[in-house]
Amino acid sequence: MPEVNQADTAWILACSALVMFMTPGLALFYGGLVRAKNVLATIMQSFFALGLISIVWMVIGYTLGFGTDKGSIIGGLDFIFLRDVGAEVGPFDTLTIPHSTYMIFQMMFAVITPALITGAFAERMKFRGYVLYIALWSILCYSPVAHWVWGGGWLGLGEGNVQALDFAGGTVVHINAGVAALATILYMGKRKGYGKQAMHPHNIPMVITGAAILWFGWFGFNAGSALAAGSLASSAFVATHLGAAAAILGWIIPEWIRNKAPTTLGAATGAVAGLVAITPASGFVEPWAAVVIGLVAGAVCYAAVSLKPKLGYDDSLDVVGVHMVGGMVGALLTGVFATATISGLDPSLDGLAYGNGFVQLGRQAVAVLATLGFSFVMTLIICWVVDKTVGLRVDEDAEDQGLDLSQHSETGYTFVDVGGMAGAGHGTGGGMMASATKTEETVR
């Protein structure tokens, strides 16, 4: 068994921190996209996932994903409560990093994946329902699919398996979360006033800041999935950046043609779509192919989001159009552009563009369809269970008031007139109550 390599360990720990930073970045990205009365509730859903899912992963999620394979479906209970997850190399004999390093890297993926779903049902889910929902979803949807693809299960590499390629989470993270988002919003229904009231983003600079943090963190997400500091990590890093850059163009060009104006929001969303699509391919494709994947993803995701009003579902922040559709684009195009010259894998895994016919593309399609079907059905079951126990959706009065106040008893913004205060205290009372001439307005 290989010994621990200090350089590899340092790199994966740094990448773990980068992936962790993506979840607060997602909080800002989503927080800026909602109406002002829901900004804190939306941010809270991502930030709270850092706490809850980290504990769920420690207790049961990691062992279900990466414990000893049980029938190619789920991991065993070898690592429950992180038992035997320490300084030794593991869990695979090809690694050169401590088992605990591998676990914490995978934990950050487990955290952000359910947080991605929150953009779809933004502005209408009870917080207590959300807590139960993401805990169950992490255990029942995320861990099984992670095992299927990365933990020795039936979809991943290995003799007798489908041998689908997913370098950093096209199926495990993005398709899994995206189709769960679709199932959830179909179960919950539309926001009150959807299609009749304006529901514009309230803070585009916040959205851009969040997108920039996501882009930055995504280098750890993808390049870290090489699981070593070396040429493969470098290749994945380059592909990640080029895919995102090209997707901005892929989104902006049709938007500019159709709407006569390129939008900042479109550029940010296009970049995220490119990052999503390049994720499964990043360790398998050459730079020119990364550009092609990004261009296609930007254009296809723009078209998918544009179709939303005609299809009639209320995906608040376009999780389905960006993550599900973008993940599908990336997973399938991996079957076209994957090459052993980048990955070092057997040439039998090469894509269509490298003379392997439709073999790898077919394998990718199996992984896409399996993830879509399993996650959709399981998420509907989770929604029903949560709805019948603690409740899933806020009532109309709470939705009108905004989730910041109705779920968390706080507001994101308070405006004070010029004569309002000379100083501000923290908490109830203090300087905030000092002036009788002050007027306050909560932005809604």
Residue 434 has pLDDT above 50, yes or no: no
Q: Please tell me the predicted confidence (pLDDT) of residue 415.
A: 75
Domain 6-396 in CATH 3.55.30.10? The answer is no
Residue 424 has pLDDT above 90, yes or no: no
pLDDT tens column, 11-67: 999 999 999 999 999 999 999 999 999 999 999 999 999 999 999 999 999 999 999
Give the domain ranges of the chain.
6-396
Region of residue 95 (phi > 0: left; psi between -120 and 50: alpha; otherwise: beta): beta
pLDDT tens column, 193-215: 998 998 999 999 999 999 999 99
Q: Please tell me the predicted confidence (pLDDT) of residue 418.
A: 56
CA distance 327 to 168: 11
Q: How confident is the model at residue 379 (pLDDT cuts 50, 70, 90)?
A: very high
Q: Please tell me the predicted confidence (pLDDT) of residue 123.
A: 98
Tokens of 214: 């996501």
What are the CA-CA distances from residue 402 to residues 40, 49, 118, 194, 386 (Å)?
10, 21, 16, 15, 21
Q: Which residue has the tokens 């990466």?
A: 66
Cβ contact 189:314 at 8 Å = yes
Q: How confident is the model at residue 417 (pLDDT cuts 50, 70, 90)?
A: low
Contacts of 385 (CB under 8 A, 6+ apart): 136
Q: Please tell me the predicted confidence (pLDDT) of residue 2.
A: 83
pLDDT tens column, 161-170: 999 999 999 9
Q: Please tell me the predicted confidence (pLDDT) of residue 414.
A: 86
**For range 171-178, the mean pLDDT:** 98
**For range 298-321, the mean pLDDT:** 96
Output the average pLDDT for the chain: 93
**For range 273-283, the mean pLDDT:** 98
Q: Please tell me the predicted confidence (pLDDT) of residue 416.
A: 72
Backbone angles phi, psi at 355, to 5 degrees: 85, 15
CA distance 426 to 122: 29
Q: Please tell me the predicted confidence (pLDDT) of residue 430.
A: 35
CA distance 331 to 321: 15
Q: How confident is the model at residue 419 (pLDDT cuts 50, 70, 90)?
A: low
What DSSP state is assigned to residue 419?
Answer: T
113-127, 216-230, 376-390, 410-424: least confidently modelled range:
410-424
Q: Please tell me the predicted confidence (pLDDT) of residue 420.
A: 52
